[in-house]
Amino acid sequence: MAPVKVEERDKEAKEAKEENEAKEGKEETEERVIRQRRGSDKRTQKKPKKTGAKEILSAALQTEFTNPAAAQEFESRYKEKMRKKPGNQIFHVLAKSSSLPENMQWPDRKVKEFLDWALERHHALLEVKNDDQYTPLHLALMDRNTTFVDAVLLNSKLINLAAVLLETCQYGNSLHVAIKYRLPSIKLMVEKSAQINKMFEKGQPETGNTPLHACMSMDMDEHDDDSDVESEFDDDDDEDSQSHSLPDPDHESETPIADEHHHHHQELKNLGWVPIENGLGKRKPTHVELKHPTTTGRRESHALPLQRAQSFMVPTITESTSRSIQLVQLLIQKHHAILWQHNTAKRTPYQERIHRLRTSKAIENELAKAEKTGLEDKAAAREELLQRIVAKDPIASYIRSYCVKEFPRDRIMACLYQPGQERHIEFDLGGLPHPTISEDYLDRLSKHLQFESIMKYVALPKITMESPAMVRKKKRGEQPPHRRGLSDLVAVFNWLRRNHVEKIVKIMVIDDGDPSHADASIEEALEGFGIEIWDWKRLDLSTEVICKSTKVVQEISLYSSGNNAVLMGWASPQGLPNKTKFPDLKKVNLFIREGQEDQQRLMTYINSFKNTIKRETNDRVKVHHILDNKDVSYASELKSTEGHLQPETPWIDCVVSFARLLRRAPGARSVHPVKIAIIDDGVDASLIRLDGKIAIGKSFCPYANSTDLMSPYYVPSGNHGTCMATLISKICPEVSLYVARLDERQAVRGSQRQITAKSAADAIRWATDCGVDIISMSWTIETPVTGNDDMESLKTAVRDATGNDILMFCSTSDQGSSTKDNCYPGDFPGCIKIGGATNTGEALAWVNADKVDFLLPGKNVPFDNNEGKVISYESGSSVATAAASGLAGLLMFCSWLLKEDNKSFQDQKNMDEAFKALAQQTKFPRMQEVFEQRFKQALAKLEPPNPDQKLKQPPPEYDISTMSWDDNCKEALDTVMGWILPTN
């Protein structure tokens, strides 16, 4: 019985175990099912639906925003969704209308209605950038969505328009994008940007190109086919808007004929250039004048076609170029400061245009043809051809013309040229030492004068032009035939034409003698130059001559003898009031001589003339009269038409005014004067203005045939040294003059006198022994040094002066390109060589700027007597040298006024660096900018703020000529001197 019980017990235990396992499995399964059910519930639970930009726009499309209730309901529903936050917003989607589905296309009316409402409440969304860093306006511009763009620009209630326009993307600001994508309403964009300077001046991220830079290649894009682009600049009424020919200055204007078989195809079309073939119609072949050296050594002009069947490409204003020009004009007129902005390549917009022309493949092909003509100097021919192309390019021509007419010379240079590539924009022979010139003289000038195609002015004194035939007759002792009317200046203006001058803005010509130039000669001389400001100084000149010479004159200066018949003719319907003859005339300057009639009758004539002009032109033409008393005749001087109201020497006037201010400083008297030696022909000590300024003098000029009698230094042989001393004394605030009179001998040829090298060497040694700070030498010796004991002595004297820290300013030779290599003492080491310039910094015609260190004013500088009456006008590099010496003395005095023991400016290297700083990458010290701008700006910053003045006020006006010296002046001077020489 025992075994059976054990088996039963084991069986029961096994069944119990299986029952428990089954129970546990069931519970586990139930728990798993519960967990699964719970997880399924979570997965099937619905998330709240997110409202997207397209849904909002879809709702907006169905809303009438002109209905206040409907608009309010939309606002209540979507206000939170329209808050400003990064990413794609509703304006981004709406701006890129081309990406919207067909069932969501917005009518123009609806876009404007919605934006008018939305921008008043949610304008901040316009500043939001999407993931690609574009604002809605950027996208609209890129999509050429003019409806969106116009709605933004024309919204009068948009308070953040400036911020929106200034937002940038990879292409730049909104104006950059509009130009890149040829926005049809670009004019509106520019108008709205007019008060935002940064819109025009800000460069693109990588290139630094301003919007105007970007326009320089708009018509050069080879792959841009914009024939379907509409623009505000298009003129639907003009049937010829597709092509407007630019006039050729060498020929009468005719419509150029395109060569449809020409191998330069698409790029030339985009550039706006069309070829002119030989033998087509009446037009002569277009050519470029290239210079060839001849067997005689003279350079003559030859017209050489660039290839047998065709000349070079002449620019034509195509539709693309026309839009570009108008956009360029608009940008410049709205903000002309854009013209002197530089990109990362350090090019202004004009320089960028030239670069684009130079590197264009089509232009390169044309230039390559010129190199195949067998010219000896291919590089020169290539460059000359490029200049002709640049001269005719319509965009470059407009910028050049605008700059020359609107800006002062320094600004013109900065806008148009890179350093070292400047071209002459003036031709001025005023102050010419000799009244007679020859064609050879002009040819020599051509070697170093590179003219721009447009000239700011041409000023010519009364000169006689010697033709080769006249020279030959004079050599044979024959008298030239007597003529009543002159024609000398025809050759001068023809010479300008040969040197590629095509436009002259202003002429000033002295022609008041008897005989004067014939009418026909004047017309021939000026034909085609498009004179805008006329100042041909000939008495009673017929207005018919002016009319035939130029059709675009805006201002005329007339010189009257007082003859009422002439005045009546000028004021007649066939004279100045004739709008057909003078369509652009705005101003007449009447210079009328006194003496022929009594004052009362003369004024009756003048008033009658002015009233007639006013009546006949409906006050379109303004008349200003100036009485000419003959003592200093306006018809006999080269002077601006407003010269009687303006200072003739602004550079010198500016420096002299500043010197007077320095003299008013309390500590000025305690500063020891600058010691300046004037080595010249002596000084007239009788001049009151030199009282107390001459420290000592010595003569090195013995009487002729005498060894013990010396010509006194205080009774000069001429007025040259006196003028130099006077000018230096004006410019340097406190000066002690050390006067040395040089020995002069009669030249072997001619009437000029030559300075002896021995007396010059002795004078320099004397000045060195006197311990002077500066030596001024306004003369030259052109004798080789080698083998000449006196010249070797002079060289040694200069070296010794340099070793004693004496600054030496020396004049260059006023012989232009004919200047010899031997020009001393300026060519000796340690000397600073000075050349004469106009008041604006242009080297005088007879000065070779390449052979001087600096240029200073040296044209028609006035000098007066004890009564203050101007008795002479001096010109030349000698005057400029005195100005340089005086300026160096002024800088030296300023440093001593600030710090008594300052010796910085007694070092030649430092003085040279100071002059370079003042010249600002030119050779002409810009003193007006230093004393009229920098000094005044420094003063303005020192003015204490006014706590009662909430609004920012402009800086106070300062008149240096009348202001008193105070501590602020000293601090301002310290600031300026630190800029001039940082190590000071």
Cα separation, 839 vs 857, in Å, equals 5
Tell me, what's the pLDDT at 638?
61
CA 353 and chain centroid, separation: 15
- 814, 836 contact by CB (below 8 A): yes
**Strand 831-837 relative to strand 622-628: parallel, antiparallel, unpaired?**
unpaired
Least Cα distance to 423 among 513, 351, 349, 371 occurs for 351
Summary mean pLDDT of the chain:
80
> Is the pLDDT at 357 greater than 60, yes or no?
yes
Q: Among 88, 29, 78, which residue's Cα sits nearest to residue 58?
A: 78
Residue of 775 and 786 predicted with greater confidence:
775
Chain-centroid distance of CA 337 in Å reads: 10
Question: pLDDT for 48-66, tens place per residue?
Answer: 455 577 888 888 888 999 9
Higher-scoring residue by pLDDT: 557, 98: 557
Share of the chain above pLDDT 70, in %: 75
Share of residues in the chain with pLDDT > 90 (%): 44
The pLDDT value recorded for residue 783 is 85
Q: Which residues pair with 243 in a beta bridge?
A: 318
Q: Where are the domains of the chain?
A: 53-202, 319-416, 435-466+486-627, 650-931
Classified as helix, coil or strand, 319 is helix
- Identify the CATH number of the domain defined by range 53-202: 1.25.40
For residues 490-508, average pLDDT: 94
Q: SS3 of 575, please?
A: coil
Q: Which residues contact 2 (CB under 8 A, 6 or more apart)?
A: none
Q: How far apart are the C-alpha atoms of 560 and 543, rounded to whole Å?
A: 12
pLDDT band per the 50, 70, 90 thresholds, residue 628: confident
- The answer to whether the beta carbons of residues 819 and 786 sit under 8 Å apart is no
Does the structural domain 435-466+486-627 have CATH classification 3.80.10?
Answer: yes
Vertex 642 angle, CA 641 and 645, to 5°: 150
Please compute the mean of the pLDDT values over residues 957-973 and round it to a whole number: 85
Mean pLDDT of 206-222: 86
How many whole angstroms separate alpha carbon 705 and alpha carbon 202?
A: 74
Decide if pLDDT at 742 tops 70.
yes
753-755 and 774-777 as β-strands: parallel, antiparallel, unpaired? unpaired
Cα gap 358→379, rounded to integer Å:
13
CATH number of 650-931: 3.40.50.200
Distance CA 502, CA 289 (A): 14
At residue 643, the pLDDT reads: 44
| Fold agreement (53-202, 435-466+486-627) | no
Alpha helices in 476-624 (DSSP H): 488-498, 519-526, 543-549, 564-571, 599-616
Residue 350's pLDDT band (boundaries 50, 70, 90)?
very high
Residue 947: which pLDDT band, with cuts at 50, 70 and 90? low
pLDDT in tens, 632-687: 566 666 655 544 434 457 899 899 999 999 999 988 888 999 999 999 999 987 78
